[in-house]
A = this chain, B = another copy of it.
Amino acid sequence: MKVRIDVMLKNGVLDPQGKAIGHALTTLGFKGVGEVRVGKSVVVEIEETDPAKATQAAEEMAKKILANLVIEDFRVTVL
């Protein structure tokens, strides 16, 4: 079973990478580009058939190494 863990900076935390992409898009001619925020997504294959257990394992992974909970939020999706 595959789960996806999306990690994004919390609202209010400065995102210089997003800012840079926003500037680049505007420079390239895209109109009406507002805030841009960048996150990472990690897709993990887990040997587990129960979606609830897979979600729980993915949440633990996120808390332990994938997300820095001081500045980042995460969300788990079963694929």
Contact = CB atoms under 8 A, between A and B. Distances in A.
Instruction: Count the copies.
Output: 2
Interface residues of A, number: 33
B33 A37 contact: no
Contacts of A42: 18, 21, 36-39
A49 to B, nearest CB: 11
A28 B18 CA distance: 31
A40 B40 contact: yes
A25 interface: yes
A46 B47 CA distance: 39
A63 to B, nearest CB: 11
A75 to B, nearest CB: 11
